[in-house]
Structure 1
Amino acid sequence: MAQVQTRVVVDVTLDVPDRPEPVTGRLISIPEQQMPILNDIHISQGRYIEAGRSDEVLVSQAFAEANHLELGDTIAAVINRRWQRLRVVGYALSPEYVYEIRAGDFLPDNEQFGVMWMGRDALATAFNLDGAFNDITLTLAPGANPDEVIFRLDQILEPYGGLGAYDREDQLSHRFLDDEISQLRTQAVIIPTIFLAIAAFLLNILLSRLVITQRDQIAVLKAFGYGNGAIGIHFLKFVLLISLLGAAIGTGAGLWLGQALNQLYMQFFQFPLLEYQVSVGMLLGTIAISTGAAVLGAFGAVKKAVALPPAEAMRPEPPATFRRTIMEQLGFQQFLSPVGRIILRNLERKPIKAMLSIAGIAVAVAVLVAGRYVSDVMDYLMDVQFDRAQREDVTIVFNEPRPAQARYEIAQLPGVLYAEPFRTVAAELQFEHRTYKLAITGLEPTGELRNLFDRHLNPIDLPLDGVLLTSKLAEMLGIQPGQILTVNVLEGAKPVRQIPLIGVVDEMVGLSAYMDIHALNQLMREGGTISGAYLAVDALELDRLYDQLKQTPTVTSVLLRESTIRRFRETITETRGAITSILVVFASVITFGVIYNAARIALSERGRELATLRIIGFSRLQIAVVLLGEQAALTIVAIPLGLLLGYGLAGLMSLAFDTELYRLPLVISRTTYGFALVVTLIAALASGLMIGRHLDRLDLIAVLKSRE
């Protein structure tokens, strides 16, 4: 170990001005005199605490902003059974709480939870820890083995009640930030790849048509001595011009979106400074990649241009060869109108182009489905977690296990309609060579406020003599129901027990182990000891309950279900609107680009044919159906494929979100499918209307003139 520092860390109940409900504060000791320490704080406003002033504290900036705390304001706190007022002298940020969240919460709730830093002497004295500590931070020397250090630390601290050491990778804030970076890295590869592939396809069909319309110019240039290389470079310059203009627009849009994303992350992660920086190398790299994709997409068309012999290029392009379609060969032509046969023949004449168009539209549909998947799964999480599993109004946690009589005292609290006590015991679960440390939660077997479900949302009853694990935890330990789990208890007498795994429960947040509270009490060789309770409360009596809890010294934490739900909904609303808007724009651009370009090029290629149809008696509507019917047929085929592809992309996202901190099941609502369908059809209709305007201006005489 290179550096070791001890400190005192305790959770207390706070009475914040202008906030009726109790708030949880985490007090962390810091030296009386400012000096460099591990997990050092950054004071963003105000000053450091003064030595000898036991009432001065620094508060986290996010907590201060959420509760409108000003420098000099006081906060009342229950510190070791004593009511004490703490004065805010500064706002601070800590690398340890970049993601300021307490265990058990889904999202940071800075109104209900905040970190505060207090002088070491004052905090230790208040909790009878003068000269002692209950928390250690340390750094390792170069080349040290973290696992070996953790093992030795656990051995050394075991006689003193140590609950187990953990590496920085398992630190809560670090885990959230690391998972977010990993997801961004994955998205930064997948999404650009999709759009670059579509852009390459569009450039290919655009340049192919350009080569066809300039056959005679190519022939003249070759006749005057221009080589294949010069012709190819000419067309590549055209591609490079398009790609560079697109890169300029995309760079500006990317910088703007990057700044917006940066501001969004500042709402969740507490950094002293989070600057959005783009290096010149990154800009040049992205431009090079996009330009390379454009050149790759145009390669086939350029190859076609340089391969044209001058004599052949001087002649008009040979007319398309039509033949009976497969449906006609099977005798189904009687079910098709003349217009329908024209559409089907033209699609069969260019199958590769048709398939690429279908793929482009399908990708647009898939982007919409996969993009709204996160919104769907959040709605599902809200329903399962808060309407079915966690039905309590208030959760209270004691600062230490309380005897059985506390059950009756809880029931007498103001406004409490129903109370379910629970017991949590810190333990290390072991199966074969795999271990995991967490708190086993003992629940009432006949409880109504906390329910457990399997993956099909079927209720699971607590076993009388076994344990239930979340499916992710069982997977990490490699254990199956019916096998024996070793439980090394980390508190009290620290017994070691062999307990069978009875089954698994499906939960989307965190890792948990559950037992019947009575079986857990027996395992600990204790009476009806409890660690806290879930409460159903009369809404009209909440203020009285809050006042009582603020002054109850044994209560260290109060969690409010309504506050969690409100914060969750606010976060979803903020992110959902922005993400949905971006996805709609991107998907609409893809759909419009594919359909419009395909139809516009088809109009250019088949202008003579459409004009002929008009002269022999086809109406404007009929020739519009001939032209746009092909795109309509491609869109109709692409939509179900896109829905299936979107389901597959959502499935991949579900696998990517399968972590220890949270799991997102594969849940897609009918509304999402309908949304993707409507957006795609609107984009297709918009492109069709623009092509219709070109058809209205079709010069029949000009297009029927043969080229000399």
Structure 2
Amino acid sequence: MVSPLDAKLGRDLWRMKGQALAIAVVVGLGVLMLVMMDGLVNSLTETRDAYYARYRLAQVFAPLKRAPDRVLDDLRAIPGVAAVEGRVTGGALIDLPGLAVPARAEAISLPPHGPPRLNAVHLARGRLLDPTRADEILLLNGFAKAHGLEPGDRIAATMNGARRDFRIAGLVEAPEFLFSAPPGELMPDDSRFAVIWMNHSALAAAYDMDGAFNEALLSLTRGAETQAVLAAADRILEPYGGLGAYGLKDQISNRFITEEIAGLVVTSHVVPPVFLAVAAFLLNIVVSRMIRAEREQIGLLKAFGYTSFEVGLHYFKFIMAIAVGGAMLGCLFGVIGGRSLATVYQIYYKFPFLVFRVDPAAFVTGVAASVLAAAAGGILVLRGVFTLTPAVAMRAAAPADYSRAAAMGGILRTLLDQPSRMVLRRIAREPLRTLLAVIGIAAGMAISVAMVNVTAAFDITVERNFTLVDRSDVTLAFIEPLPDRVIHDLRRIAGVIEVEPFRSVPAVLRNGPQSYRGGISGLVAEPRLNRAVGADLAPLPIREDGVLLGSALAELLGVAPGDRLEIEVREGRRPVIEVTVAGVAETLIGSPAYMRIEALNRALKEPGRVSGAWLRIDAAQSGEIFRKLRGMPAVAGVTVATEARAALEKVMDSGAGAVRYLMTAIAAVITFGIVYNSARIAFAERARDLASLRAIGFTRAEAAFVLLGELAVIILLALPIGAVLGYFMGEAVSAGFSTDLYRVPALFVPEGYGAAAAAVLLAGMVSGWLVKRDVDRLDLVATLKARE
């Protein structure tokens, strides 16, 4: 049987269903963010780990020039090594109809019989290789989809200077190519980079590797020391042109997804708590004001014999119904949102399956935060009301004393009409309530400012990278470093306006215990086509006497200008050099390190060598230019700036981009919810006052003005506060989205502040219109009638 208080609870919830639902939605959105981000992080982490384990991804990669197969036995003898696989890899170019320049490809050998011990592939379509067919290949599924290729189709590829025709046996995916970027680039592009798997004997013959390998894969036993294995592998492979073994954490595909997950972890620690805190703050304000409005009902219940505990429990149930209901909605839609975003990542990173899991702690945290915030707000207010006797509580609270404002009233009377004076007196009468309302709306605006600014920062990052940093039209990479006279040959090509050489070498940069596996880019003294820029976005000269680090790399290594840095080059003679940090450049994409090209070549004892060049060309002659570049046997790849920009924009709009768009939408809903709830609570508190004004002759418009004028003043006061809060919140959110591979700057974007302010004003107008309808529909008799 339902008790009278529980029946009242049901009636109260129904009577306030619109307002209760609005509060529950705001609470639910805060919980949704927490659950969704937790589910996304856990899903990506567990799917990645399961994929790696199922397809036996190696834990150590050891590239080299050439070594006989017998050296694999020496690698197997290293303590801590569980399995070893030798394979042949090489660069290739694929020419397809519709491509202005050939797509770059990496060719990888597969053992002739059975799956490889390490780095197996997942067959998506077609079949595996026939060991008797030297012309069959497996093709990376992403590249095939981008160009409409199917099993059975034939393609041509240039390998080691020779053109070969192949038949596609199957389309595959592989854990080492979740992120597929052309060599030397940081952005994935399925249309411009392919991976080809071939029978070992066929690929070894193509690259003169019969009885040899040029990359070793190692898996480790549980508890093995990775650094010790890396050092031992380097010692064994050094006589064979070892390029430096590296662990899974430095493998480019794993590194990219790991950085993405790390960025999501930071975001999940920064953004959802902000959303949840704003929701909890709003719930606290709303519950406090609702309970104050129920003062007379509380007195009446106590007069009928209900104890303070019973009445308190009744209102606590009311609070919990809203808080727990909103939290449950947040948990449900958080799971749905997390699964949907995980599916987006699954497509983006080409996982063949998805493991979705939300940590139960996320549910507990979200519900507990909502319940505690609601309980705190309710208990603090109930404690004050319960000290009143039933007779006192049943009487309306004593009106405010305005006698001390007589002088001000005289001044205002000459400046403002009566409704306007009533608005200002209401605000001055309860400054704490007004302050809390201002802070609540400002917090909602701050979330909108932060998310709009971050969205704009993604776009600005792309724009700055391709207008201030990389101003070239074409990037040319050579198969191996060439004499710098090739630059003169490029300048003679009709339509080539400007050529700027560069030297790029893989390297490990160390500062004490801090290290980073990346590369050094050798640039001319004052580069024009690909530049380093400072914090003020002005170009920086490349000094002869040191290295210029990107800000992300300098932060990672813990160095500043003037510090010494050790650089272990992983190419050629592999020298170890010690240089001074000459400066720090503003990082937009990647974690670059720059040296003067002449100084880098001197350190390598290879004067006059270049790894590639940036070109500025006449677009009208691009077809002929690309035709000539395709005919140069030393060219390993050609990257067109417009294609690279499109790939970067795709990265920015996928993965973290999808999260930021969703967060922006949620921020907009929360902002509207805060403004609407403020208007609804104000109406609930002042319904009797508004009815009284109507009874003494105020028009509907004048009565509505008294209520909505107060809301307008609060919103106008909240706008500057929200702008300031939004700036600091934007810094925190930008830091959460930034990774070592790209940085999202915390920017002051006037359009972002304008858009957020417009959203708050629009929410105020819509909320005002909805509340004005209720003001116009007031039943004066029922509202003014004292409750019996």
TM-score by length of 2: 0.82
Shift of 1:276: 4.4
| Worse overlay, 305-314 or 74-83 | 305-314
Matched, 1:54 2:134: yes
Distance 1:141 1:98, change over 3 A: same
Q: Is the Cα contact below 8 Å between 2:264 and 2:656 reproduced in 1? A: no
Q: Is the Cα contact below 8 Å between 2:452 and 2:664 reproduced in 1? A: no
Find the counterpart in structure 1 of residue 766 from structure 2: 686
Distance 1:444 1:604, change over 3 A: closer
Find the counterpart in structure 1 of residue 219 from structure 2: 139
Find the counterpart in structure 2 of residue 359 from structure 1: 439
Distance 1:345 1:255, change over 3 A: same
Which of 96, 109, 116 is matched with 1:16 structurally? 96
Which of 53, 57, 64 is matched with 2:144 structurally? 64
Matched, 1:344 2:431: no
| Worse overlay, 233-242 or 86-95 | 233-242
Q: Is the Cα contact below 8 Å between 2:651 and 2:657 reproduced in 1? A: no
Letter in 1 for 2:489: E
Q: Is the Cα contact below 8 Å between 2:523 and 2:594 reproduced in 1? A: yes
Aligned equivalents of 2:91 and 2:413: distance in 1? Answer: 79
| Worse overlay, 692-701 or 425-434 | 425-434
Which of 227, 230, 240 is matched with 2:310 structurally? 230
Shift of 1:278: 5.5
Which of 671, 676, 683 is matched with 1:591 structurally? 671
Shift of 1:619: 4.0
Aligned equivalents of 2:330 and 2:561: distance in 1? Answer: 53
Aligned equivalents of 2:145 and 2:606: distance in 1? Answer: 44
Shift of 1:349: 3.0
Distance 1:184 1:432, change over 3 A: closer
Secondary structure at the counterpart of residue 134 of structure 1: strand
Which of 452, 463, 478 is matched with 1:383 structurally? 463
Q: Is the Cα contact below 8 Å between 1:422 and 1:444 reproduced in 2? A: yes
Find the counterpart in structure 2 of residue 506 from structure 1: 586
1:303-323 CA distances to partner (integer Å, 9 max, x unpaired)?
456555333334344434445
1:531-553 CA distances to partner (integer Å, 9 max, x unpaired)?
11212233233333434444443
Find the counterpart in structure 2 of residue 91 from structure 1: 171
Distance 1:412 1:12, change over 3 A: farther
Find the counterpart in structure 2 of residue 409 from structure 1: 489
Secondary structure at the counterpart of residue 92 of structure 2: strand
Which of 12, 21, 44 is matched with 2:124 structurally? 44
Aligned equivalents of 1:106 and 1:326: distance in 2? Answer: 70
Find the counterpart in structure 2 of residue 635 from structure 1: 715
Matched, 1:426 2:533: no
Which of 157, 163, 172 is matched with 2:252 structurally? 172
Aligned equivalents of 1:637 and 1:415: distance in 2? Answer: 59
Matches within 5 A, 1:302-701: 302-303=382-383, 306-322=386-402, 324=404, 328=408, 337-413=417-493, 415-431=495-511, 434-570=514-650, 572=652, 582-583=662-663, 585-701=665-781
| Worse overlay, 24-33 or 304-313 | 304-313
Secondary structure at the counterpart of residue 504 of structure 1: strand
Aligned equivalents of 2:473 and 2:754: distance in 1? Answer: 35
Aligned equivalents of 1:219 and 1:240: distance in 2? Answer: 21
Aligned equivalents of 2:597 and 2:402: distance in 1? Answer: 78
Shift of 1:300: 3.3
Find the counterpart in structure 2 of residue 163 from structure 1: 243
Q: Is the Cα contact below 8 Å between 1:200 and 1:298 reproduced in 2? A: no
| Worse overlay, 40-49 or 176-185 | 176-185
Secondary structure at the counterpart of residue 398 of structure 1: strand
Secondary structure at the counterpart of residue 406 of structure 1: helix
Determine what percentage of the aligned residue pairs are the same residue: 38
| Worse overlay, 95-104 or 631-640 | 95-104
1:545-577 CA distances to partner (integer Å, 9 max, x unpaired)?
434444443222222211112233455567899
Aligned equivalents of 1:294 and 1:169: distance in 2? Answer: 44
| Worse overlay, 321-330 or 681-690 | 321-330
Give the gaps of 5 or more residues in structure 2.
1-80
Which of 184, 198, 204 is matched with 1:118 structurally? 198
Shift of 1:682: 0.3
Letter in 2 for 1:493: R
Give the gaps of 5 or more residues in structure 1.
none
Aligned equivalents of 2:279 and 2:448: distance in 1? Answer: 18
1:473-516 CA distances to partner (integer Å, 9 max, x unpaired)?
33444444345444443333334444443323222222222223
Secondary structure at the counterpart of residue 665 of structure 1: coil
Find the counterpart in structure 2 of residue 239 from structure 1: 319
Distance 1:377 1:326, change over 3 A: farther
1:393-421 CA distances to partner (integer Å, 9 max, x unpaired)?
22121111122332233334564333222
Aligned equivalents of 2:632 and 2:238: distance in 1? Answer: 31
Secondary structure at the counterpart of residue 532 of structure 2: coil
Distance 1:666 1:458, change over 3 A: same
Aligned equivalents of 1:262 and 1:432: distance in 2? Answer: 38
Letter in 1 for 2:109: S
Q: Is the Cα contact below 8 Å between 2:497 and 2:618 reproduced in 1? A: yes
Shift of 1:376: 1.8
Which of 76, 101, 108 is matched with 1:28 structurally? 108
Q: Is the Cα contact below 8 Å between 2:285 and 2:436 reproduced in 1? A: no
Shift of 1:17: 4.1
Shift of 1:80: 0.9
Distance 1:588 1:83, change over 3 A: closer
Aligned equivalents of 1:325 and 1:123: distance in 2? Answer: 92
Aligned equivalents of 1:683 and 1:604: distance in 2? Answer: 19
Which of 187, 193, 209 is matched with 2:273 structurally? 193
Secondary structure at the counterpart of residue 508 of structure 1: coil
Secondary structure at the counterpart of residue 133 of structure 1: strand
Distance 1:227 1:93, change over 3 A: same
Aligned equivalents of 2:669 and 2:380: distance in 1? Answer: 24
Aligned equivalents of 1:427 and 1:359: distance in 2? Answer: 51
Aligned equivalents of 2:507 and 2:536: distance in 1? Answer: 29
Shift of 1:621: 3.2
Q: Is the Cα contact below 8 Å between 1:228 and 1:307 reproduced in 2? A: no
Distance 1:692 1:145, change over 3 A: same
Secondary structure at the counterpart of residue 727 of structure 2: helix
Q: Is the Cα contact below 8 Å between 2:104 and 2:182 reproduced in 1? A: no
Distance 1:262 1:326, change over 3 A: farther
Secondary structure at the counterpart of residue 528 of structure 2: coil
Secondary structure at the counterpart of residue 380 of structure 2: helix
Aligned equivalents of 2:270 and 2:545: distance in 1? Answer: 48
Shift of 1:105: 3.5
Shift of 1:71: 0.6
Secondary structure at the counterpart of residue 2 of structure 1: strand
Letter in 1 for 2:608: G
Shift of 1:111: 0.3
Shift of 1:688: 0.8
Q: Is the Cα contact below 8 Å between 2:656 and 2:737 reproduced in 1? A: no
Secondary structure at the counterpart of residue 212 of structure 2: coil
Distance 1:55 1:304, change over 3 A: farther
Secondary structure at the counterpart of residue 338 of structure 2: helix
TM-score by length of 1: 0.90
Shift of 1:706: 4.7
